[in-house]
Amino acid sequence: MVSVIGNQCWNRATDLNKCVAASGSTYVVSMRHSMMSQPIPITVIKSTVAKTELLDDYRRKRNSDGTPEPFGGRIATKGAMRFVVHHHAARNTHYDLRLEMEGVLRSWAVPKGPSPNVKDKRFATLVEDHPLEYGDFEAKIPDGNYGAGWSIVWDRGFYRPIVDPLEGLANGKILFELQGQKLHGKWTLVRLKGKEKDWLFIK
């Protein structure tokens, strides 16, 4: 019989893997399974060409025979630009913010997760780009693989760039509006001076 872990368990657990093991469950309830309705799309035109070379670093770190993670192939189409936030119980539990750009999900690891408090400045590390299919990914990455541990969707929806996201990425300041199940309103990613991969995620 398949058991279910609700939000009370994994929201309070410091280690999602221990939470799953303690319950004897094989399934985790997340935002993807509990959404009552889809957010209203924000109409934005996005690239129709997936730049697969952007996934080279992602693929080098993973063994396709050892992990259930997707390896890319979906082509971006015109429409709303997606975002997703994963809760990842890896060696160091953290959240991953992913914004769709150039046919991939540009990704930042956020150790403490997003905060709705405008006074909070959450540290975020720019990591390798992920394939678009990762927006639907939820599974346990097996031990011995890069990023081993449970990864589930914490929030998802659409985002509207306030400035061109590629220009913002190059200039070190990305302004955008989120329309998700948990996260809403205007947010900013700001790169720390002199740092290529170190950013702040601010409401």
pLDDT band (50, 70, 90) for residue 47: very low
**3-class DSSP assignment, residue 140:** strand
Residue 155 forms part of a structural domain: yes
- By residue count, the chain amounts to 203
Residue 165 forms part of a structural domain: yes
pLDDT the model gives residue 184:
96
Residue 97, domain extent: 42-202
Q: Which two tokens stand for residue 81?
A: 């630009």
Residue 94 forms part of a structural domain: yes
At 134-169, the pLDDT tens digits run 999 999 999 999 889 999 999 999 999 999 999 999
The answer to whether 150 and 18 have CB atoms below 8 angstroms apart is no
The DSSP bridge partners found for residue 109 are 96, 125
Residue 9 forms part of a structural domain: no
At 65-82, the pLDDT tens digits run 899 898 877 666 667 899
User: What distance in Å separates the CA atoms of residue 59 and residue 57, rounded to the nearest whole number?
Assistant: 5
Residue 105 forms part of a structural domain: yes
Residue 16 forms part of a structural domain: no
Residue 13 forms part of a structural domain: no
For the chain, what is the domain count?
Answer: 1
The structure's pTM equals 0.76
pLDDT the model gives residue 121:
97
**3-class DSSP assignment, residue 61:** coil
Per DSSP bridges, beta strands 198-202 and 184-191 are: antiparallel
Residue 189 forms part of a structural domain: yes
CB atoms within 10 A of CB 45: 9
